[in-house]
Every structure is written in C-alpha cells, then in structure tokens.
Structure 1
C-alpha cells in the first residue's frame, strides 16, 4: 500500500508513513469532516451522569441531529468501509447538499434513508465507488499493467484519485465500473497492435492522466458551486499565476477568487511533497490552460452581470 493517499473529489486517509493524498483539485479538510469525539473510555458532557443501560437494555445509537448528515457517519452506518462513502460522494454517486463552511458537503437524511432501506442499492454503490490502481485495473481488463498505463496516458480513461508513494511517485486510481464500461465499448484496444494515432501520441510523450483528473475534479466542484464567483474560483484554482492574471486582469477580482479557492486535495501535506502535488494540480499545458481561462472569464462575466442594477 502506498504511504500517501490523496483524494480528489474528495477523500483522504492516512496510513503509517508520510501520509496519503486522495480527489481530488489548495489543500485543506475535505467535505463532511467528522464531528467531535469523546475520549476513549471517557465521558462527554452529554453522557456524564447518565444511567448506564441495564442488562436487557440496548444503548441507543448516536445520530447526528441535523437533517443533513456527515459523510463519514453515513459511510459507517451503511457499512461501506473506510473511504468508500467519500469516494462515492466524489464521484457524484450519492446526493449531497452544502454543509457547514465553504465547499463542505453533507448527505440529506432522505438520501441516507433511501440507501439504508435498500441493501441492493448499498451493494451496488459499493461496487460503483470501488477504485483500483493500475495493476488491479489491468487485471479487470485482462491486459498487462504496461498496456493499461499506455491507455491511461492517452486519456482512454480518467483517474478519480491519486496517491504518492514513499519515492514521491504519483500513483493513480480509477473507478472499476468505468474501466469495465470501457472494456465493453472498446474491446479492440485491449488486444493486438495499438492504433497508429495512439502510438504516435505515446511517442510524443503524451500523458493525459493529470489533465483528466483535473477535469473530473473541477467539473464536480463547479457543479457544487453556489454562485458564479465560486464557479470562477474552481476553474481559477488550476491556473498558474501568470495565466490567472491574463484571464482576470483586475487585481481585486483575483484576490476574491483566491479567497474562494476550493480544496483540490483534501489533506494538509508535508511541505517536501508539494512540488510533486503542484504538478498534478496545475494546468501547465497551454491548450488546457486556455480552456480554464475561458471558463473563468465566462463565470466572471456572469458574476458581474448579476451585480449590475436592472435597467
């Protein structure tokens, strides 16, 4: 297992070692941070002095009071396993609503009740949210890891998550369900000689994995944005400072976008890993950067038009 797990849309777990990144596109605590916990074996203010349950009396299960529930709590209650619910949220498989604080998400109780009332839905969700690395993905498709990596480099499927190994190498993870769908749609790419177009792209050193991850992550965040300013901040988050200044010439607008910047990855990382992570987070290819610049300009135009008085 890699030492650092990084999640996009969304998703962080830590293991022994330097740590792990996961969804996805600034780095700070991800959506659905767990609530306060009591000391192990101790009491909270809410339980101090309470009568312990008798021999035939079951202790009541704790439930969040809000009608919108924290993502980790939902995952535990549904028995999804560590990180699976976070992955499902990042992939848009579970309906969420804005939580407390910017860019935080919670699960509506109605959505939780729907899933809890249908064991088949939980099993299907667990399978659709399963993420696999290159070796496991190659096994699913019945191809070699080398062929799998070549297909990923030319953008035939998009990573949903990444991690850093102890050697500071980026290791990508992909939704297993999407890989199986790709195998059904493009069986010819799994056998025989690769098409000339793909071979030429690989010869040029093409590697679209980070680009496809950024596209997936920013698309999810843009759908969660509450207004055009937040939407512009999503697309601005992957631009280098000169590219952002070109798209947003007004300094006050740039300051506001930086203040609204969403978490592209969900963990505080050791400073010595940021040079690697920054390359994943940043659109350095001119064509990709122009695409994000256009989205920033469009969202800013919407934001400024909303501010103008109606004539």
Structure 2
C-alpha cells in the first residue's frame, strides 16, 4: 500500500498510537463486554493490524484510524452476538460467557438462550457489511468470527423451524423429546383417524343417521385428502432434511483449526445449490480468503 501522508510507522510507534485508543475504549465498554472483547482484541485483532501496518508501510494516522474502526467493529459484533448483554432483565444463566466459539450443534438446543449467546441477526449483518466495506481492517480472526456466527445463526434458526413442538417442550432432553414425539404422533393419529369415526358411531347409536353419515363422509374425504397429500409432505420433509444436512456440512468445515478454502467454497456452493439462503457477506468473505491464499485458512494466524 502506498503512503498517503507522513512517514511509515515502526513497532514502538504502533504501541504508542494504540495505547490511548485501548484506554479510551476500556473506559467506554461496560463490564458486560470488556472481559470478552479485550482478549479477542489484544490477542488477535490488534496484533494482526500491527503486522499489516508494518508489512504495508502504514502511517501513524492510517494505523490510528484503522484501529478505531476495527475496535468499533469488534465491540459492535459482540453486542450483535449477545444482544441481551448488560440488560437488567437477562437471567443469570442467559448472560454471555464468551465472545464467540464454534458451537456443538444440537437440534434440541436450537434457540436456547442458556447457551451464552443471543444473536441479533440484522445487527450482525450490518457489522459484516461495514467490515467488508473497509478491506484495510481485514484479519483472519474477524473473517472467521463473521463466517462462523452467520452460518450458525442460519443453521440455528432453520433447525428451530423444522424441529417441531416436541423439541420445543423437551428443553434439550433427548428422552423427553422422544417421549413427546411419540405422544404427539399418537394424539395426531387419534384426532385424524379415530375422532370422526367415534363421533359418527355415537350419532348412529343415537338414531341420528343423517348426522352419522355426514360425519362418516367427512372422515372419508379427510382420509383421502391426507393420502393424496402424503407424497408432498414426504417430499417437503426430505427437502428440509437435505437443507439441514447441507448447512451442517458447511458449518462443520468452519470448526477446523486449519480450513481448506476450496473445501469451504465447495460446501458453500453446494449448500446454495440445494436452496440454502445465506447473506452475501458469507460469499464475499470466502472469495476474499481464496484470493489471499487458496491452500489454507488458519483463523488463529495473526494477519
């Protein structure tokens, strides 16, 4: 990168520029955010900016401006991932416990606030758009944070949508889930196939033959209609399962300590081809990763 003004900065000057910025933001951040933001900032984001500043001959003013922008993005992303942070109404077991971590997916825990996160999708995507509009603050860690969080948010929302009432009431308990699933199926069968015949029988036994035959006819129509719609329901369930599996495959790739950009791109393209809808920020970040290094992407690498 060419120098815009002034002289390029050395390592000692980097520290002197960063110090007042760090102190200012430490005062601005509340206790709900600082314990989680500072390790990410000082351990990954700031060191990466320093490396880039030295490698690309940034000026002190460029470094200062980019530090402020990157730190603001780091703080904003934290609050997007933990929208309930700092709220007086947040339960103790729902408060943030980390900045972000790759999640062990469990469909029974979808949308569970006790996992230590409460994602505000629109705000997260706003942060992603702002970050992408300033490529000079790009870092491996922030690329990964956005990719992992955006994909997980979509996976979590979709799995919650398809999991059904049994998963909602099971509260993450597998035994309770299977018991409730069986119970709901029995209830559904009884309501769909036994209730109307029972009412028709009761009407016949009371001498209400017209009513009985009407109810019996209604039952026949409902059964025939149910059988006609069976292939469509099976197809819809199969499609939902395929989409869920594609999203899971994509998310698993992001859990590796060393990620193959081509494998990631392949999983992303396959998911999109199957109908998975992801924000354009995901594709932009992956394309940028491949442009930089198509052989390996290491989120923990400083740079």
Structure with the higher strand share, 1 or 2: 1
Larger C-alpha radius of gyration, 1 or 2?
Answer: 2
Q: TM-score normalised to the size of structure 2?
A: 0.23
* RCO higher in structure (CA 8 A, sep ≥6): 1
Q: TM-score normalised to the size of structure 1?
A: 0.22
